[in-house]
C-alpha cells in the first residue's frame, strides 16, 4: 500500500526539488530533509522496549527501538537518502543493492548486492527517490526477501501511478511511504511533472 506523507514541509521542499534551477548542493540538502520526514513515518510502526531512566529529578521509563533496523539504498540515487535515514536510527545497519537496466529486456538487472544478515526482528527499509516503473523497487524487494528479510518497507520521494500498480501487484504486503503521487510516466519512463533524474541531480552529473 502506498502512503503519502502529506506534510507542509514536505510540500515546500518538493517544490525546491522540482525546480530545474535548484543547484546541486541545495538539491542534495532537500533530498536529505525530505527523507527525514518520510522515513520517520515509515518507522512509526517499529517495536519498542522499555528500560529505566534516571532523570536529574526522578526515575522514569525510557524506550528504545527493539527492531534491528536496516536501511537499503538502491544505487546510486538511494545513497543520497541514506545519511538522513540513519540519523533517525544511529545504530542501524546498511545494505546496498545495485540495479541497472538490461538493454535487451529493459528490466532491472542486479550488479551488486550486499546485505546484513537477516534476523527474526529485522526491519529493512528500501531507499530510492523515485518510484517510476516500479520494476527496480520490486526487484530490490525480491532480493531482500531472498536474503531472509520478512519485514520490509520502502521510502521514496515521489511516485508514479504506474510504479505504484506494479509494485503493489508484486509485493502487496510491503508498505511504500512517499512524498507525492505524481500524474504519470512519459514515453521515456520519467515521472511527470517529476523532478528530473534524481541521481544526476544529487551527484551533479546531469547535462541539461
| DSSP label of 157 | S
| Predicted pLDDT of residue 103 | 64
| Predicted pLDDT of residue 208 | 47
Whole-model pTM: value is 0.93
HSE value, Cβ hemisphere, 13 Å, CA-based, for 108: 20
Residue 208 lies in a domain: no
- Work out whether the CA dihedral 201, 39, 32, 184 comes out positive or negative: positive
Residue 40 lies in a domain: yes
Residue 195 lies in a domain: yes
Residue 185 lies in a domain: yes
Exposure string over 95-134, b if 16+ CB within 10 A, otherwise e? bbbbbeeeeeeeebeeeebebbebeeebbbbbbbbbbbbb
pLDDT digits (tens, 9 = 90+) for 150-171: 999 999 999 999 999 999 999 9
Block residue for cell numbers 548542493: 25
pLDDT digits (tens, 9 = 90+) for 93-105: 999 999 987 766 6
Residue 128 lies in a domain: yes
Residue 61 lies in a domain: no
Residue 71 lies in a domain: yes
| DSSP label of 11 | H
Residue 140 sits in a domain whose CATH number is: 3.40.50.2020
* Average pLDDT value for the chain: 94
Nearest to 77 by CA among 105, 96, 103: 96
Which residue range forms the structural domain that includes residue 97?
A: 2-45+67-203
> What is the three-class DSSP state of 199?
helix
Residue 174 lies in a domain: yes
| Predicted pLDDT of residue 100 | 82
Q: What is the CA radius of gyration of the chain?
A: 18
Residues 6 or more apart in contact with residue 149 via CB below 8 angstroms = 70, 115, 118, 122, 124
Kindly give the parts of the chain with pLDDT less than 50. Answer: 208
Strand partners, 71: 94, 125
Number of domains in the chain: 1
| Predicted pLDDT of residue 106 | 66
Amino acid at each position: 500500500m502506498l502512503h503519502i506523507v502529506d506534510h507542509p514541509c514536505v510540500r515546500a521542499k518538493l517544490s525546491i526539488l522540482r525546480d530545474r534551477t535548484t543547484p546541486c548542493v541545495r538539491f542534495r540538502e532537500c533530498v536529505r530533509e525530505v527523507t527525514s520526514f518520510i522515513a520517520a513515518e515509515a518507522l512509526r510502526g517499529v517495536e519498542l522496549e522499555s528500560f529505566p531512566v534516571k532523570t536529574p529529578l526522578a526515575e522514569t521509563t525510557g524506550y528504545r527501538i527493539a527492531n534491528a533496523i536496516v536501511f537499503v539504498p538502491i544505487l546510486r540515487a538511494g545513497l543520497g537518502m541514506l545519511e538522513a535515514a540513519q540519523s533517525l536510527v544511529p545504530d542501524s545497519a546498511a545494505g546496498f543493492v545495485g540495479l541497472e537496466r538490461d538493454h535487451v529486456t529493459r528490466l532491472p538487472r542486479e550488479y551488486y548486492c550486499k546485505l546484513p544478515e537477516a534476523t527474526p526482528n529485522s526491519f529493512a527499509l528500501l531507499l530510492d527517490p523515485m518510484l517510476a516503473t516500479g520494476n527496480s523497487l520490486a526487484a530490490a524487494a525480491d532480493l531482500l526477501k531472498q536474503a531472509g528479510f520478512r519485514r520490509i518497507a520502502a521510502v521514496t520521494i515521489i511516485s508514479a501511478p504506474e510504479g505504484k500498480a506494479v509494485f503493489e501487484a508484486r509485493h502487496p504486503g510491503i508498505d511504500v511511504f512517499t512524498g507525492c503521487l505524481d500524474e504519470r510516466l512519459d514515453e521515456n519512463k520519467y515521472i511527470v511533472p517529476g523532478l528530473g533524474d534524481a541521481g544526476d541531480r544529487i551527484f551533479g552529473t546531469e547535462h541539461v
